[in-house]
Chains A and B, each alone.
Chain A
Amino acid sequence: MVNLPTRKVIVALVILIAALALVPISGDKYWIKLVTRMLVLGIFAMSLDILVGYTGLVSFGHAAFFGLAGYVVHLISPEDEAVNMLWALPLCLMVTAVTAAAIGALCVRTRGIYFIMVTLAFAQMLFYLFHDSDFAGGSDGAYVYVKPVLTLGQWLIVDLGGQATLYFVSLASLVAIYILLVIVMRSPFGKVIQGIKINEHRMQALGYNVYLYKLVSFTLAGTLAGFAGFLFASIDGFVSPELLGWQESGTALVMVILGGMGTLFGPVLGAIALLGVEELFRDRALFGFMASHWQILMGAFVIAVVLFFNNGLGGLLLSLAGRRKGER
């Protein structure tokens, strides 16, 4: 059951990654930024797949950790100086991990529809915390004036302020996290959480501490969402409460479904496709008047995906690669 992509899929993914690595050569700032957003949201969607596709937990509050990490970057960045990733990134991940563990400890006690509602409610709680607060710019959002850098002693190794650098860091992180998660899912831990997805009571009867496994999975997913949030804050240098909002969480779920849940690489394709579709809908030349009301088109698109396209792009790719449908 543990899903390792077939050789054909791996070849396709390697070609895709190679093609993505060429994007900065174009030098077009708009495109580089767009694809960077695709990659970072790809990491975010992939982290949600751990819950939705592997543990069977439908979280509707995943953006809380994504946005929280963005705000941590804002809060620890001095106004006129870059913060050093060497300690900023671990701190960011730690804050999101602790928050995810605390929220997860409560949420994981619940099941099914309760879990959906409770994760949503806690995410909204964090949303209002930043929305109504004075310490982080309130509803207007806040800036990260100088983007994080990685310095070791005297040497400047990575400067996320550079557009191409940020792009390659995002791409490398995406590949690294994908490989990490494939390893995790093939480990005994990964097999247990997939067992929980299929039949929780049986796993319990086998003597596994189901609660603990789900909590660890929730925390891992939240922490990786935090990693994506860290990178996202460096794209525009701007964070707003909307990053934690239910709309962001919903969009991430759409990416997972569109890409095909339980495949890890699928949600990344989903993120790329969804942002691509959004660009398309916003194109005045194509959609005229509707372009300024592209949310209607997006809503219709989401509904169409749910009704007609349930296996997602990842499923399509797997079945093209010679696998029968329904068999993962």
Chain B
Amino acid sequence: MDWLFLLIQTLNGIQYGLLLFLIASGLTLVFGIMGIINLAHGSFYMIGAYLAFSFTQMTGSLPLAIILGIPVTLVLGLVIEKFFIVHLYHRDHLQQVLLTFGLILIFNELQLIIWGGDPNGVPIPQALSGSVPISDTLSYPVYRIFLSVACLVIAGLLAFVIQKTRLGMRVRAGASNREMTETLGINIRLLYAVVFSVGVTLAGVAGMLAAPVETVYPGMGEQILIISFVVVVIGGIGSVKGAFLGALAIGLVDVYGQVYLPEIASVAVYALMAAVLLWRPAGLFGRS
């Protein structure tokens, strides 16, 4: 029986880790390619969750809500890039931190005006609301399995686009040498806008997918932002592969911690980060 319980916790950890990867991958891409540290990234996760909440109420279906939500986050990303992030490309990290900090203040207050301060829930879609029996007494919800698979598919797509397509080639070129890429006639401004917008959408989709299993509440963006930072730092800033491994490690440590050592669970992930930094100050796959 005990190992079945362990299995369920492991599945939970992997699911949480995969969700973290969606958020952290956007964060690490935006930094790795554009050199921007974006504190408002967590806000996009929150906005995604609230969009799922509103659109599900309107249409009565989560898949439809996600289809409606993705264009909204894409456009939001383009707008934020066009009006704010553009000014940060040649500035230092301190100014990037402060400007995106200002954005968080605005997003949080707008969220309060539009949706209010009460926590909300999003129902699990009918087709995915069952659970898979594992033993006589234990079962595992289908939606969580779906969530893990969806995250894996998106992660695979992301890897495919970056490694195998022309767009991905340009993105990698832009990350390693901005001036040279520009000289070769690639519109780096457009590339940046696309990367930022995709990063925002990844966080937004993570929020939409997570809405049925997590509560939709005002401070959800900050909480996930900090954990995503930990993931990115562990994996090495700019490394998608690192973010993937880091996210899984943090997901498992967090879930195991809450089950087996609840007193120190909230500190466990930071302890893991400290340990990795002692060993490799630039993260697992980082270039220092």
- A120→B100 CA distance, assembly (Å): 15
Instruction: Tell me the smallest distance from the CB of B103 to a CB of chain A, in Å.
Output: 7
Are A124 and B233 in contact, with the CB atoms below 8 A? no
Are B222 and A299 in contact, with the CB atoms below 8 A? no
Are B229 and A120 in contact, with the CB atoms below 8 A? yes
**Contacts of B31 on A, CB cut-off 8 Å?**
113
In the complex, which of the residues A52, A58, A117 contacts B229, with contact meaning CB atoms closer than 8 Å? A117
Instruction: Tell me the smallest distance from the CB of B258 to a CB of chain A, in Å.
Output: 11
* Contact pattern, B 81-111, Cβ under 8 Å of A = 1, otherwise 0: 0001001000001110111011111101110
Are A116 and B274 in contact, with the CB atoms below 8 A? no
Are A122 and B98 in contact, with the CB atoms below 8 A? no
Are B229 and A121 in contact, with the CB atoms below 8 A? yes
Are A253 and B97 in contact, with the CB atoms below 8 A? yes
Q: Which of A113, A128, A293, A310 has the largest number of chain B CB atoms within 10 A?
A: A113
In the complex, which of the residues B37, B103, B277, B282 contacts A299, with contact meaning CB atoms closer than 8 Å? B103
In the complex, which of the residues A124, A128, A250 contacts B101, with contact meaning CB atoms closer than 8 Å? A250
**Contacts of A81 on B, CB cut-off 8 Å?**
none
**Contacts of B222 on A, CB cut-off 8 Å?**
246
Are B266 and A129 in contact, with the CB atoms below 8 A? yes
- A307→B108 CA distance, assembly (Å): 21
- A307→B282 CA distance, assembly (Å): 30
- A124→B230 CA distance, assembly (Å): 11
**Contacts of B102 on A, CB cut-off 8 Å?**
298-303, 306
In the complex, which of the residues A111, A129, A253, A299 contacts B105, with contact meaning CB atoms closer than 8 Å? A299
Are B270 and A121 in contact, with the CB atoms below 8 A? yes
Instruction: Tell me the smallest distance from the CB of A214 to a CB of chain B, in Å.
Output: 13
B112 within 8 A of A: yes
Are A302 and B101 in contact, with the CB atoms below 8 A? yes
B281 within 8 A of A: yes
Are A254 and B94 in contact, with the CB atoms below 8 A? no
Are B97 and A109 in contact, with the CB atoms below 8 A? no
Are A299 and B233 in contact, with the CB atoms below 8 A? no
A89 within 8 A of B: no
Are B237 and A58 in contact, with the CB atoms below 8 A? no
- A122→B273 CA distance, assembly (Å): 10
B1 within 8 A of A: no
In the complex, which of the residues A106, A116, A307 contacts B93, with contact meaning CB atoms closer than 8 Å? A116
Q: Of all chain B residues, which has the CB nearest A251?
A: B101
A257 within 8 A of B: yes
* Contact pattern, B 211-251, Cβ under 8 Å of A = 1, otherwise 0: 00000000000100010011011000100000000000000
Are B106 and A296 in contact, with the CB atoms below 8 A? yes
Are B113 and A118 in contact, with the CB atoms below 8 A? no
Instruction: Tell me the smallest distance from the CB of A207 to a CB of chain B, in Å.
Output: 22
Are B105 and A296 in contact, with the CB atoms below 8 A? yes
* Contact pattern, B 103-135, Cβ under 8 Å of A = 1, otherwise 0: 111101110110000000000000000000000
B267 within 8 A of A: yes
B183 within 8 A of A: no
**Contacts of A124 on B, CB cut-off 8 Å?**
226, 270
B137 within 8 A of A: no
- A254→B266 CA distance, assembly (Å): 28
Are A118 and B282 in contact, with the CB atoms below 8 A? no
B184 within 8 A of A: no
A residues 228-256 with Cβ under 8 Å of B?
246, 250, 253-254
Are B101 and A254 in contact, with the CB atoms below 8 A? yes
Are A254 and B98 in contact, with the CB atoms below 8 A? yes
- A19→B116 CA distance, assembly (Å): 43
Are A128 and B266 in contact, with the CB atoms below 8 A? yes
Are B267 and A257 in contact, with the CB atoms below 8 A? no
B58 within 8 A of A: no
- A122→B113 CA distance, assembly (Å): 31
Q: Of all chain A residues, which has the CB nearest B31?
A: A113
A112 within 8 A of B: yes
Instruction: Tell me the smallest distance from the CB of A274 to a CB of chain B, in Å.
Output: 12
**Contacts of A140 on B, CB cut-off 8 Å?**
none
Instruction: Tell me the smallest distance from the CB of B25 to a CB of chain A, in Å.
Output: 16
- A327→B102 CA distance, assembly (Å): 28
Instruction: Tell me the smallest distance from the CB of A196 to a CB of chain B, in Å.
Output: 16
Are B105 and A302 in contact, with the CB atoms below 8 A? yes
Are A113 and B93 in contact, with the CB atoms below 8 A? yes
A114 within 8 A of B: yes
Are B281 and A125 in contact, with the CB atoms below 8 A? no
* Contact pattern, B 32-57, Cβ under 8 Å of A = 1, otherwise 0: 00000101000000000000000000
Are A253 and B94 in contact, with the CB atoms below 8 A? yes
B177 within 8 A of A: no
A295 within 8 A of B: yes
- A257→B98 CA distance, assembly (Å): 9
Known contacts A117-B232, A117-B233; decide if A306 and B281 are in contact (CB<8 Å).
Answer: no
- A298→B84 CA distance, assembly (Å): 16
Known contacts A114-B233, A121-B230, A303-B99; decide if A293 and B112 are in contact (CB<8 Å).
Answer: yes
Listed from nearest, the 5 A-B pairs whose CB atoms lie closest are A299-B105, A302-B102, A299-B106, A303-B102, A125-B270
Mind listing 8 A-B residue pairs with CB under 8 Å? A109-B277, A113-B237, A114-B277, A117-B229, A117-B230, A246-B222, A253-B97, A306-B99
- In the complex, besides A253-B94, A257-B94, 17 extra interface pairs with C-beta distance below 8 angstroms are A106-B277, A113-B93, A114-B281, A114-B282, A114-B286, A116-B37, A117-B232, A121-B233, A125-B270, A257-B95, A295-B106, A298-B105, A299-B106, A300-B106, A302-B102, A303-B84, A307-B99
A: residues with CB less than 8 A from B are 52, 58, 60, 106, 109-114, 116-118, 120-122, 124-125, 128-129, 132, 246, 250, 253-254, 257, 293, 295-296, 298-303, 305-307, 310
